[in-house]
Structure 1
Amino acid sequence: ELFDAVLICDPGGTRKPDPTVFEDIAVRAGGGLRNSWMVGDSLTSDIGGGQAAGLTTLWISHGRILPDHGPQPDHVVSNISAAFQILLKEGPTS
């Protein structure tokens, strides 16, 4: 009851960062990718995949330093509490 949809990728199936994973979960949740966010702690799978799908991205760093190379998230926070603060302030993207 807390989530509109849950998508678990099996080992033989499509996995992040493939953009179709993000499209599939958006369809299952009854929406689209427009005005959506990807929040995660993996620069490659979460942030790179979210960017490939056209999402606004928020990286939870857990104190790690953002490298100069690779995916560059729209927002960086150190923990999930800070992520919620940004999401509540920003709301859906435009």
Structure 2
Amino acid sequence: MGVCISEDIGVRKPTRGHFEAAIALCDGDAKKCAGGWMVGDNPDTDITGENAAGLRTIWMAKGRRWTYGLREPHIVVRDAAEAIDALHGLTF
């Protein structure tokens, strides 16, 4: 398992370098990261781009409704604490 934060790696989402850094955190094995999860609150950089890259997504709505296009997040939560709870509740 790896956690990849844009500010920590110096690569902004949704550029390819961000995904490559995430794969490197999974011992460089893309298969280990296949179907990984992206958690974020920005519809463009955190959700739409990651859906297109094959990642499953959790959107922190922060009181907003999803009105950002066809590619909806897999899970919608209120905040980071709820996102963590959602991830803990997943079975792999």
The alignment's TM-score, normalised by the length of structure 2, stands at 0.75
Match of 1:28 among 24, 37, 41: 24
Q: 1:57–1:75: 8 Å Cα contact kept in structure 2?
A: yes
In the alignment, structure 2 segments of 5+ residues that lack a partner are none
Runs of 4+ that moved beyond 3 A: 3-6
In the alignment, structure 1 segments of 5+ residues that lack a partner are 10-14
Q: Deviations over 1:14-73 (max 9, x none)?
A: x4223x234312232024331310000001001011111101100001111111625310
Q: 1:22–1:53: 8 Å Cα contact kept in structure 2?
A: no
Percent sequence identity over aligned pairs? 30
The alignment's TM-score, normalised by the length of structure 1, stands at 0.73
Return the letter of the residue paired with 2:14.
P
Q: 1:44–1:71: 8 Å Cα contact kept in structure 2?
A: no
Return the letter of the residue paired with 2:9.
L
Q: 1:43–1:71: 8 Å Cα contact kept in structure 2?
A: no
Select the structure that is richer in helix: 2
CA RMSD between the two structures: 2.2
For 1:12, the equivalent position in structure 2 comes to: none
- Select between 43-52 and 60-69 the one with higher mean Cα deviation: 60-69
